[in-house]
Structure 1
């Protein structure tokens, strides 16, 4: 599968094409920002990208005993996190659109989550500020785009993520939608250089004091969207402000039902664990709710 992940190890950044992140890995040290340039150069040719990367860096074998020293990074995070835009689209899943019983919005609802500082990876704690009403997890596909030197958005690949939302605030006041999305969120460290999955299924488990307190299945993917992918992207990138060269976009494209929809309430100290079946990929994050 055309995939890689990035991490820091002893104050240096590395990329690896190894299938497992926790076992022995072959890794290549790189200068932050170089990977983005190479990916734009190869225009989606994964084999070419991999060869260029291997040719430009010395191969280093890191044994499994070093796994605890490796800090996972969001894929393609720019050296300056302010050059990353984390956003998404709400009410895009067919099930959610149908559940409203009304006329679907002709234009998809876009939301901003923040710069790259809000994006965490697997195992990291998601900190939720004081004043939230009731938060929920949302298992989603996340599209990754780079803005090239001409100001054109270039699709690079996809990963998966957990979009934390103050769903309680939205239910109480629909106009609070944009504010309710301004929360830390997470993505897998793995980037897949291929089109996003047509269908992706999985499970969400919530643990409290090391005991499972909630479990449900979810389904996501391009086939689950009420809108076409092209419509989402074309609508978003009409804005020149979002097409500044060098920006990296992480775009959450919509979720199935979440734990709140099933009547479950997340609390401080809970751990949300998502498993994306077809990718055999997990994403786990503890929650820290300030003021709880």
Structure 2
């Protein structure tokens, strides 16, 4: 499958193909802010994004470990910040006491808005939480990426993976009112955009590292085959709302997560490192938990 990414290097924005290979240089192509979004909405689908990352003019090679190289969330409009982090809750089959019927009428799952696209963090960056969380929960999820054209029509760009860190303990104290507060933890995302349909099967392992050693480990699945709801139904319903069809908006849509550390009785603490190994797709997303500071008096 085709994969593209965007990054910044020495003050310029670049794009490239594939996942980094240790010991092999990355070939980078200069792009402007919004150039790939424009290629997507002008073409016929994700495949047009891949062909837009090419050419010899300004092409460079960079070591993946170069300290000056910084990856970006897929298609993030850094100039305008016209991007939204949002998603669904309670979408997995394990959270229902039955299987969906093949022709079952669609009932929208719960939904949340997390924040602006510029709030996203990348692999290796710490994720800040409230100063005194009740009980943190990591959430490995598939993230669909959409970009709206100048008329507000959403165009599917591909998918990536994210960790919707949140305070499930606070949420459970008052599920009908405090969920927005529980979501006020930073979220991470991988920069690799898979130019394909939303994945049917996604599997991997979560490891929580504490003081350099594994303190908890468990498997996860978050592909469409693990969901109770149908992905096309969720996306169609969401984009029926005009406010999400703002011209130029880039939308990072999280599809929900299965049970994880909290459901096993494990508490994530300040300084823990969450390692999400999406082994089915060769991607690792690792971030340290960092409690925020209290508000100044």
Taking structure 1 as the reference length, what is the TM-score of the superposition? Answer: 0.92
Q: Supply the distance in 2 between the matched residues of 1:58 and 1:7 (Cα, whole angstroms).
A: 15
Where structure 2 has 5 or more consecutive residues not aligned to the other structure, the ranges are: 99-104
Identify the residue that residue 36 of structure 2 maps to in structure 1: 35
Aligned counterparts, 1:49-128, within 5 A = 49-55=49-55, 57-63=57-63, 67-80=66-79, 82-98=81-97, 106-128=107-129
Matched, 1:219 2:221: yes
3-state SS of paired residue (1:54): coil
Q: 1:164 to 1:54 in 2, by over 3 A?
A: same
SS of corresponding position for 1:39:
helix
The alpha carbon displacement at 1:182 in A equals: 2.7
TM-score norm. by structure 2 comes to 0.90
**What secondary structure is seen at the aligned counterpart in 1 of 2:233?**
helix
Distance apart, 1:68 and its partner CA: 2.5
Q: Is the 8 A contact 1:15 1:30 kept in 2?
A: yes
CA deviation string 1:125-168 (max 9, x = no partner)? 10112242111100110000111112111111000110111100
The 5 A counterparts of 1:1-292 are: 1-20=1-20, 23-44=24-45, 46=47, 48-55=48-55, 57-63=57-63, 67-80=66-79, 82-98=81-97, 106-175=107-176, 176-291=178-293
In 1, Cα distance between equivalents of 2:56 and 2:75: 18
Deviations 1:176-220 (A, max 9, x none): 123212321011110001011111110000011111101000111
Q: Distance between the aligned counterparts of 1:70 and 1:92, measured in 2?
A: 36
SS state of the match for residue 107, structure 2?
coil
Determine the C-alpha separation between the residues in 2 that align with 1:77 and 1:92: 26
CA contact 1:148–1:246 (8 Å) conserved in 2: yes
| 2:5 counterpart SS class | strand
Task: Please give the alpha-carbon distance, in whole angstroms, between the structure 2 residues aligned to 1:36 and 1:56.
Answer: 21
Aligned residue number for residue 101 of structure 2? none
Normalized per residue, which structure has more helix?
1
Q: Distance in 2 between matches of 1:257 and 1:211?
A: 22
Deviations 1:260-280 (A, max 9, x none): 111110111010000111101
Task: Report the counterpart of residue 102 of structure 2 in structure 1.
Answer: none
Structure 1 gap segments, 5+ residues each: none
Q: Give the secondary-structure state (helix, strand or coil) at the position aligned to 2:142.
A: strand
8 Å contact kept, 2:136–2:267: yes
Q: Cα gap change, 1:106/1:71 in structure 2, threshold over 3 Å: closer, same or farther?
A: same
CA RMSD of aligned residues (A): 2.0
Residues of 2 paired with 1:184 and 1:33: CA distance?
A: 24
Partner SS state of residue 238, structure 1: coil
Alpha carbons of structure 1 residues 80 and 180: separation in structure 2 relative to 1, 3 Å? farther
| 1:106, distance to aligned residue in structure 2 (A) | 2.7
Please give the alpha-carbon distance, in whole angstroms, between the structure 2 residues aligned to 1:63 and 1:160: 23
CA distance change for structure 1 residues 173 and 145 in 2, over 3 Å: closer, same or farther?
Answer: same
Find the aligned partners of 2:293 and 2:210 in 1 and give their Cα distance.
Answer: 18
Contact kept? 1:30, 1:57, Cα under 8 Å = no
Question: 1:45: Cα distance to partner?
Answer: 5.3
Taking the aligned partners of 2:46 and 2:120, their CA distance within structure 1 comes to 27
